Structure 1
Amino acid sequence: MSTVNIPEADSVSYREFQEGNPVQVRAVASPGQEREFEKGKQISISHQNMKATAVIVSDPIEITNQSESGRKVFSLIVEKT
């Protein structure tokens, strides 16, 4: 299961997530890892020292072109499971 980090400065999103509301997060995928961020997949959400499990409820939207390292950044909508 892949892990997505909610930045420390974005405590509001993590609180919304914990309350059961869908939130938008960014995920970075290495080459070959893109399939782990498909709609319906479970991921781990990390914020500061807290962790939770989420399900992706949207189709991933690529927000960057493939960089030199081959990594891609996706925007995802997730909900707490």
Structure 2
Amino acid sequence: MIEKYLFIIIACIYYIVALAFYFLLLTPKLQKSLKKASPIQIRLIKIIYLIGVTVIFLVLIYFHFYISGQISLNI
């Protein structure tokens, strides 16, 4: 039964951990270590990180539906 939802579980755990790391990016200690970076560069890093995390999350969800046979590739 758990194998049926394995990708969903992995995707959710991954997303929670990734968001935790994102909130670590907001800490002042890390912001101080990025003194040489401009605020725009820091915002860009955060945006790229969130986009990357979300894309990987969606790919894991897609694989769940692909493996379970609910989505097929008709090429």
TM-score, normalised to structure 2, is 0.23
TM-score, normalised to structure 1, is 0.22
Specify which structure has the higher proportion of helix: 2
Specify which structure has the higher proportion of strand: 1
Larger radius of gyration: 2
1 or 2 for the larger relative contact order (CA 8 Å, sep ≥6)? 2
